[in-house]
Each structure stands twice: as C-alpha cells, then as structure tokens.
Amino acid sequence: MAAFIFLIALFTLMATAPPAYAAAALLITVDRSGKGDYRKIQDAIDAVPSNNKELVFITGNDSGNIIESATLTVLASDFVGRYLTIQNTFRKHGVQAVALRISGDRLAFFGCRILGYQDTLLDETGRHYYRNCYIEGAVDFICGNAASLFEITGERTAILGRPWGPYSRVVFALTYVSNIILPRGWDDWGDASKPSTVFYGEYKCYGAGANVSQRVEWSQNLSVEEIELFLTKNISGCRSWIRSTPKHFKKSFAAISNNSTQHS
C-alpha cells in the first residue's frame, strides 16, 4: 500500500493558544531541502514535548475504518491549519479512507487542500471553521457531527447532503451553486424515516444548480427570519475564537536548535 502524499513544500505547525494565554505562536518549519527546522513532518511532531496540549498524529495511507484510517488526526482544541495539503491516496469505492479527522473544539482551516476518495473529511465533533479550502472526494467527502461553518466552493456532480444519522442539519446560504448539484438537491440515504428529523435548507443561492423547483419535498427554502441565525459566525461561535494570523513567533523547543545544526 502506497504511503500518503503530503504535497506542501513547507509545513507549519502552529501550537497556538487563545490570545489570553499566549502572545506569540510557536513556529516549526519542515522543508525537505533542509532549509527549515526539520526535513520530515514526523520529526517535527516528535519534537513537541509530551506535556504539550497540541496533539497531532501523522499516519500513513490507510483504509477500512473511518476513525483509524485518517492521514492526519487532530484531537486537540484551538488548532489552526493554514495552506496545508492533506491527502489519503487510497481509492476504492465503498471503502472508507479519511484524509483529515478532526475532533477538537475551536479548529480553523484557511486555504487548505483536503484530498481523498471516500469520507475525505471526517468533521467529527466540536466547532470548526473552513475558509477558502478545497475538499475533494467521491462519496460523503464531508461527513461528521460537528457544528461547522464552511466558506468553500465545489465542482463535478454531487448532492448537497444526506443524513448520516438523525437530526442532521445543513444550510446553504447566498451560495453560488453550479450545475454539479443534481436537481433533487438532497438524498434520504434510502431511509424514508430520516427526513422527518433533518433540517436541510437553502437561502438565496444562485447559479445553474440553485433552482429549487425539483428539490425533494422535505427540503426548505428559507425565509429572511429563518436564515438570520445562519448568516453570522455565531452558528459555531467562531466569531469569539477565530484568531488572526500570528505576526510574532518564538522557538522554544531545544530539539529545534539541536536539529538545525545538522542541516549545515
């Protein structure tokens, strides 16, 4: 089985705490050419002290189990990923192969590429925010139980969503929807009882795929009053915890300075 591919040239792990706890982020740079702190991602992970609150696991390409197959798993809270490419290269229909699994609270991803085939992004639990990210997959490529806000685009043929479990809630608002979205919009996953508990809605979307005239009867075309809650970042509380890009960095791991001397 081939190893997973990490396509970014520079990997930055920012072990950041909320502003009240830290004035500067801890910056570790991985560069295969030897110009960073480490040449390998795993070496950077191994350098983090065992008592550090930021827990990140990097594994190889795997499949068959939605929890254990992830290329990258983030269990800690207050993690920020910027400009990362995370990929699970396993491709077989009907077999789960997660690229990114996130289960911490208050996680944000900016400009990231998350690539896989089935169940690409397991947005498992917690409150999460995605902006300008590219998420690719063929089957259920975004799934999970988290309260998340996505500001992303898409392509190819797809539906807007289907209920993995009861009380699934998905809303598309003020979104450009191309003709990749099938006219029915949503799917009940072959269980006629599931639509009774879901909340699937659209509000003032536009584009060739935004025509709601052929949507399933249990989806909703939301009113101004109904959409108000969803048009702010309060849906995941992220307005209070999303932090701007750090401008000041520090290096405190002794292992970094020791390792850097090996690059000369």
Active site residue 187: no
Query: Among residues 37, 78, 105, 140, which one is catalytic?
Result: 140
**β-strand pairing of 113-115 with 134-136:** parallel
Active site residue 119: yes
Which among 37, 78, 105, 119 is annotated as catalytic? 119
CB 117 within 8 A of CB 90: yes
Quote the CA–CA distance of 161 and 143 in Å, as a whole number: 9
| Residues acting as catalytic residues | 119, 140
